[in-house]
Structure 1
């Protein structure tokens, strides 16, 4: 897999895996500041200061100027520096967290100021006058990582929690932030370290003490069980990544079937332009939404036609089909008038071959739904009539009636049933039980939430498989165990993390 050679570790060297990787970060002796809450008008905004000189803010900008007791809130007047005329800026609530008992592990001060743009701007300007510098994006969390306050999996959990839009994303991020994932990976590292210690003992003393058979017999089941456990997590159907990014749902169908109206009705806002003109939607319109606590990315697409009128429409159709193919859930939308021969008689003969092909695909795809839209154009249907029409549609399409839905955006018909069907579909894709979908417990949380975790765990499994192929070649076997430990260390941030950090922290806000 394109490995770089690892230095052979002996003696107590392998115990170093339990220590955080502590390469110096940029200007670690600096004291930094940033607005930690959102910029804009608010009742209260929080400005955070971290570093060895954080308490200097009291002597320079507040009255009284003494350092308050740690973890006790105090009300003080905030002034500009003497060089700026000592003008009162605000009356603020001050909190002091003495290092290492703080988020960053350093001295931290929080100023809870009134949340106007004028107050925030004046406060930040004053902080820049007393030898503090503005924090880089994610720098507070980076300092917490380097000071051993959290491992890399917790850092990623914090990033996901800040970005969480649904309760499922929040639960998964909190489970990771609280150290559950890191604890599991560290447990795996300890198991492999113990196996490596035994193999290295065999290298050094096995021939003299005749321990080779006994040691290998002890190590083999340990490594095999761990390999099987990691492989099971790798076979989770990418559940963790899906929760982070959202289940992708495509809305496809012929022009003017009401796809954009359907999206707007589900999103409860005018996300897509709606008009009776054929081909209004030319590109994909995405809406992220919370579907009963579950993350969904719903995409409206261009109408699919076998006779596009111009190259732009042709490109829109290509993109629609491409999105449809990669989506986890597929909604095929038809206008009731396009298939209705009479009030109670249906016919699909007028549909273009491309649409018929979508229906053929939908009959075997358990995550595909047929939406018959604009039913408000018919006289009101009784439940019995609706059931009869679904049965006739099943006879024509072989799509089960449980995946056929009648809707009207005009009269708000059928959406409760449709949304519940979609929610249960998402639960099924994630492999959760109904209790897990609405629970705050971590049972549904996945160990693998990012592609880098999956890549590195595949490397671990590859190394363990190579170990198991020929454990009697102890020098080579020890190298495979070292590489497995090394790959796990890259997940938690114990080794070789600088490039990973740059990717993770670029997504953080300035004040975190």
Structure 2
């Protein structure tokens, strides 16, 4: 309203240019506030629609057994035959109070000629590109065969590379728990390991980014659930103590439009105030898609109230 008043009534009503400067300051603060909300990492959307969590790994490492443990029922078929899981098995869970969309995927391998299994593997890789959290499951024997910690880490890295998933390439370089796409390495079948000293050293190295479990004996499951809860909290935030979040992608899109319009407004000079005002209208229109339409009558009411024009 201040900008519109400056444009339409500046000469007749002697409206000072400080009104325009004040509007610019307000716009700058609003732009910064919206950007801060947009940088929330889609936490609100995850709280509303659920965190997408995908279980991945080679055949017969215990992915389906892990899914059944998490869902507390036989959601997926468990078999010693490699390639039992062909399609993506989905289920919705509550983990630590957070909604989670869990997906069990086909075992990732390259040495198969089964057309159906290959399609399942392709779908698994596509799912991993769209997920928020990846649980990479591996057989504890891969780690136990190493002679020292460094070799154990190399073995894990080689295993992850063998899965052929681009989304997992930076897991070992940045540590799983701190990577952009959250990832936790799940070392399964710990019940088969006698000397666990190397395993514990690996756990100290990775912290919450690595869990040592046995789906058969339930060893390490409590610690794994704690790590999952911590990771989910980081992905979703704490809605009771943080600023309000967006819960729909449409709201985020509208605010991005608003932010872009405000940025364009700030790029204009005082001599281009007419063009700047149009960007203000664009920003207001985008905000109106969320809050409700703002009419020209609303703007005129503020102008007449603030500047006593027409009296």
Q: How does 1:110-125 map to 2 (within 5 A)?
A: none
- Of 107, 119, 126 in structure 2, the residue corresponding to residue 303 of structure 1 is 107
Q: Which runs of 5+ in 1 are unaligned?
A: 1-195, 380-384, 497-512
- The C-alpha deviation readout for 1:24-53, integer Å capped at 9, x for no partner, is xxxxxxxxxxxxxxxxxxxxxxxxxxxxxx
Equivalent residues in 2 for 1:15-26 (5 A)?
none
Please, which of 449, 452, 463 is the counterpart of residue 261 of structure 2? 463
TM-score of the pair, normalised by structure 1: 0.50
Aligned: 1:406 with 2:205: no
Identify if the C-alpha distance between structure 1 residues 401 and 229 changes in structure 2 by more than 3 Å, giving closer, same or farther.
Answer: closer
The answer to whether residue 162 in structure 2 is matched with residue 354 in structure 1 is yes
Q: Deviations over 1:40-75 (max 9, x none)?
A: xxxxxxxxxxxxxxxxxxxxxxxxxxxxxxxxxxxx
Q: For the residues of structure 1 that align with 2:280 and 2:170, how far apart are their CA atoms?
A: 46
- How has the CA–CA distance of structure 1 residues 235 and 338 changed in structure 2, closer, same or farther, with 3 Å as cutoff? closer
**TM-score (norm: length of structure 2):** 0.80
Would the aligned equivalents of 1:253 and 1:259 in 2 still touch at CA under 8 Å? yes
Q: Is the 8 A contact 2:284 2:294 kept in 1?
A: no
**Matched residue count:** 283
CA-atom RMSD in angstroms: 3.0
Structure of higher RCO (CA pairs closer than 8 Å, 6+ residues apart):
2
2:48 to 244, 258, 264: 244
1:449 corresponds, among 223, 247, 260, to 247
Provide, for residues 153-172 of structure 1, a one-character-per-residue CA deviation record: whole Å limited to 9, x for no partner.
xxxxxxxxxxxxxxxxxxxx
- In the aligned structure 2, how far is the partner of 1:284 from the partner of 1:331? 15
8 Å CA contact retained: 1:227, 1:464? yes
Partner of 2:189: 374
Give the Cα separation in 1 of the matches to 2:222 and 2:10. Answer: 69
Query: Contact 1:305–1:352 at 8 Å: present in 2 too?
Result: no
Work out which of the two has the higher radius of gyration on C-alpha atoms and give 1 or 2.
Answer: 1
What's the offset of the Cα at 1:458? 1.4
Q: For residues 257 and 233 of structure 1, what CA distance do their matches in structure 2 show? A: 40
Which of 248, 267, 275 aligns to 1:476? It is 275
Contact residue 144 and residue 198 of structure 2 kept, 8 A: no
Deviation at 1:342, TM superposition (A): 8.9
The structure with the largest helix share of the pair is 2
The answer on whether the counterparts of 2:160 and 2:169 sit within 8 Å (CA) in structure 1 is no
Deviation per residue, 1:170-198 (Å, 9 max, x gap) = xxxxxxxxxxxxxxxxxxxxxxxxxx2x2
The Cα offsets for residues 189-239 of structure 1, whole Å up to 9 and x where unpaired, read as: xxxxxxx2x222222321244434222122111111111111111111111
Cα displacement (A) at 1:357: 7.3
Report what 1:224 is aligned to.
28
**Residues 390 and 404 of structure 1 are in contact (CA less than 8 Å); yes or no, is this contact kept in structure 2?**
no
